[in-house]
Each structure stands twice: as structure tokens, then as C-alpha cells.
Copies of this chain bind each other. A is one copy, B any other.
Amino acid sequence: MPLYTSFVTLLVALFYFFIATRVPLARRKYNVQLPAITGNLDFERVFRVHQNTLEWLPTFLLPLWLCAYYLSDIGAAVLGLVWIVGRLLYWLGYTSAVAKRIPGFFIQALACLLLIIGAAVGMFMRLGTP
């Protein structure tokens, strides 16, 4: 079991939980009552940060663990931290303006791309191992 990646995974769960809690706070701030998910653009941007983070979790978590197991625990863990940093910037940017979500978005997408490549490399190397 890759221990470094386990720690980063717990951090991801905590970070994701933190992002999720932004939505009820934005509901109160911008007065958007449950069960509505639209009606105020400031609320909708916060809502989209959470949704987008959830939407990207499969693209992130599956390669993270395949990379950790088949190639490198510490390498996967470092890229996992990069993903969290990208997601933090995405949250800070998107909540102020739609266009400002871009830099953080590309950082987290790059982390996912490298994890996918790492997972593929590790798995093809395993194929060739007797």
C-alpha cells in the first residue's frame, strides 16, 4: 500500500470537503434557498467550483492510484499535492471571476495528465515483467 499517496488522498478528501462547505456558505451570503442551484451568478460560480472539482475527481484519483501502485508512490504523491494547489488557485480565481479560473485549472489538468502518463508507463513496464 503506497503510504505517501495514502496521506495525500486523505488530504484530497479534506480539501474536497472544504470546497464543498463553500456552497452552503455562498447560499447564505447570496441568499439562494435550497433546493435551488441557480438564481445568483456569484453563488453559481462557487457552486461550479465544487461541481467541477467533483467532476474531475475520477480523472485525478484513478490515475493517482494506478501511478502510485505501478510506478512511484512518492511521484504520485507529489503530483497529488500539485493537483491540490491547482484546485486551490482555481477556487480562489473562479470565485472572483469566470476568467480567473484558468491558471489553476491548467495546473490541476497538467497534474492529471502526468499521472495518466505515469500510470500507463508503470502498467506497460509491469506487462513486460515475468
Q: How far is the CB of A23 from chain B (nearest CB, A)?
A: 9
A interface majority secondary structure: helix
B residues near A14, Cβ cutoff 8 Å: 116
**On chain A, which size bracket covers the interface?**
35 or more
B residues near A54, Cβ cutoff 8 Å: 54-55, 58
Whether B44 and A7, one on each chain, are in contact in the complex, defined by CB atoms closer than 8 angstroms, is no
Is A72 in the interface zone, CB < 8 Å from B?
Answer: no
Is A119 in the interface zone, CB < 8 Å from B?
Answer: yes
Q: How far is the CA of A20 from the CA of B120 in the complex (A)?
A: 20
* Complex partner residue of A58 from B16, B35, B47, CB under 8 angstroms: B16
Q: Mark A89-130, 1 if CB is under 8 A from B, else 0.
A: 000000000100000000000001000100110010011000
* Complex partner residue of A55 from B20, B33, B41, B127, CB under 8 angstroms: B20
Q: How far is the CB of A68 from chain B (nearest CB, A)?
A: 11
Q: List A28-62 residues whose CB lies under 8 Å from chain B.
A: 33-38, 41, 44-45, 47-48, 50, 54-59, 61-62
